[in-house]
């Protein structure tokens, strides 16, 4: 049995779906169902007896402890986090509460549970903490990609809160012996992505005939990782990662944001052309850059390849095409997730 926190979110939901598609080990899926948590993502599992969903907050010590006692998982995979930089700028309090205070509460509940396990169960237990490359700050164009030994230098409330959570996880290992591993991933994309993030935002805005907002000059560079590749990496680290170690997970796909937008437009021109025959690229609109916008992220994932034998399967070209095809085929999911709250946020963030 696995306990997956944040398993109704984008990456967590994909992980749960992939896990149960590949093996019969049951999953307890624990999620607070904030705006980005979506039970529609889990609809394929609604009659699957291997999937147990529990609505709750990782900071609720009493509830988490009762779940651990009832289901007795052999591992916890922690995806639970507030994760959108723009939202963290406008409202940092939620990020402090979930990513720092919530992680602390989860660690304490898990530590209490783990300390009472039998000797063999204690040895085999794992706590896998999923984090981000944004904790490392921003790279210059000439700098080598982030390695696991890169000093932390977070530049947004979101990345600062995730950096703090990483430090807590590390401290609980070194102080209490909790058997932890941490992963730091690059920018994920793929099916079930909440449409405030760049790639789904552009796909859906293009299809709706709306402007495609690009921050600043659009030359911010990110390393793009297809979410199903990320899920496979987490499975590998959970099975074979060394205790106390950190593993970077990257796609080896550095792309400027503007190039990503243009690629999406080109594929949409092919798969769902505009009625007027014009390219979707005509809808690109440059907007004021956000405060503290990191210029470049890039992940050095050689340690994961060298020590555990993992490499991504998808290139950006194959992954982005699969992503666009998924959104074109799943307009019902999109309609359900784009609630009035989401529309209010878009108006606030990007204007009319």
**Cα separations (Å) of 117 from 72, 73, 92, 120, 326?**
9, 11, 37, 8, 43
Band of residue 352 on the pLDDT scale cut at 50, 70, 90? very low
pLDDT, position 351: 53
Domain contains 348 = no
pLDDT tens digits for range 305-336: 999 999 999 999 999 999 999 999 998 888 87
* 255 vs 195, residue with greater confidence: 255
CB 106 within 8 A of CB 80: yes
pLDDT tens digits for range 102-150: 999 999 999 999 999 999 999 999 999 999 999 999 999 899 999 999 9
Domain contains 112 = yes
State the DSSP string of 14-71. HHHHHHHHH----EEEEE---TT--GGGGGGGTT-TTEEEEE--TT-HHHHHHHHHHH
pLDDT tens digits for range 163-194: 999 999 999 999 999 999 999 999 999 999 98
Q: Which residues contact 308 (CB under 8 A, 6 or more apart)?
A: 236, 237, 240, 241, 247
Domain contains 202 = no
Specify the 3-state DSSP secondary structure of 213.
strand
Angstrom distance (rounded) from CA 242 to CA 182: 10
CATH number of the domain bearing residue 60: 3.40.50.720
Domain contains 280 = no
pLDDT, position 278: 97
Angstrom distance (rounded) from CA 84 to CA 279: 29
The pLDDT of residue 293 is above 90: no
Angstrom distance (rounded) from CA 143 to CA 18: 35
Q: Which residues contact 276 (CB under 8 A, 6 or more apart)?
A: none
For residue 187, give the H/E element and its range: strand 187-189
pLDDT, position 340: 47
The pLDDT of residue 28 is above 90: yes
Domain contains 45 = yes
**Cα-based angle 7, 12, 14 (whole degrees, multiple of 5):** 115
Cite the beta strand spans of 272-350 per DSSP E.
284-287
Domain contains 289 = no
Instruction: Provide the 8-state DSSP code for 150.
Output: P
pLDDT tens digits for range 185-242: 999 999 999 887 899 999 999 999 999 999 999 999 999 999 999 999 999 999 999 9
pLDDT, position 336: 79
Mean pLDDT of 44-53: 96
pLDDT tens digits for range 59-108: 999 999 999 999 999 999 999 998 767 777 878 998 999 999 999 999 99
Closest CA to 147 of 133, 162, 130: 133
pLDDT, position 339: 62
Domain contains 203 = no
Domain contains 326 = no
Residues spanned by the domain of 131: 2-189+226-252+295-315
Q: Which residues contact 23 (CB under 8 A, 6 or more apart)?
A: none
Band of residue 347 on the pLDDT scale cut at 50, 70, 90? low
Angstrom distance (rounded) from CA 59 to CA 245: 25
User: What is the total count of domains within the chain?
Assistant: 1
Angstrom distance (rounded) from CA 118 to CA 104: 24
Angstrom distance (rounded) from CA 273 to CA 324: 13
The pLDDT of residue 346 is above 50: no
Which active-site residues does the annotation give?
Answer: 133-134, 158
């Amino acid at each position: 049995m696995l306990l997956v926190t944040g398993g109704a979110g984008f990456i967590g939901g994909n992980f749960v779906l992939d896990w149960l598609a590949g093996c019969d080990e049951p999953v307890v899926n624990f999620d607070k169902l904030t705006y980005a948590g979506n039970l529609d993502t889990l609809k394929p599992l609604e009659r699957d007896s291997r999937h147990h969903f529990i609505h709750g907050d990782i900071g609720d010590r009493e509830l988490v402890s009762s779940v651990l006692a009832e289901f007795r998982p052999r591992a916890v995979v922690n995806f639970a986090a507030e994760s959108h930089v723009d939202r963290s700028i406008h409202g940092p309090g939620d990020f402090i509460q979930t990513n720092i205070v919530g992680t602390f509460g989860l660690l304490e509940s898990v530590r209490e549970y783990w300390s009472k396990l039998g000797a063999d169960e204690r040895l085999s237990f794992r706590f896998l903490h999923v984090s981000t490359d944004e904790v490392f700050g921003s790279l210059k164009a000439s700098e080598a990609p982030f390695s696991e030994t890169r000093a932390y230098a977070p530049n947004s409330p979101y990345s600062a809160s995730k950096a703090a959570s990483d430090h807590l996880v590390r401290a609980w290992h070194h102080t209490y012996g909790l058997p932890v591993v941490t992963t730091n991933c690059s920018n994920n994309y793929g099916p079930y992505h909440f449409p405030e993030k760049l790639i789904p935002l552009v796909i859906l805005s293009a299809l709706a005939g709306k402007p495609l907002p690009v921050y600043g000059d659009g030359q911010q560079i990110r390393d793009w990782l297809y979410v199903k590749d990320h899920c496979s990496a987490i499975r590998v680290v959970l099975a074979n990662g060394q205790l106390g170690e950190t593993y970077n997970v990257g796609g080896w796909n550095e792309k400027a944001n503007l190039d990503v937008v243009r690629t999406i437009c080109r594929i949409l021109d092919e798969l769902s052309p505009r009625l007027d025959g014009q390219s979707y690229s005509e809808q690109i609109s440059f907007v004021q850059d956000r405060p503290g916008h990191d210029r470049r992220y890039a992940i050095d994932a050689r340690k994961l390849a060298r020590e555990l034998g993992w490499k991504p399967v998808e290139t950006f070209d194959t992954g982005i095409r699969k992503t666009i095809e998924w959104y074109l085929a799943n307009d019902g999911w999109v309609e359900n997730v784009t609630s009035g709250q989401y529309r209010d946020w878009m108006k606030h963030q990007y204007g009319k």
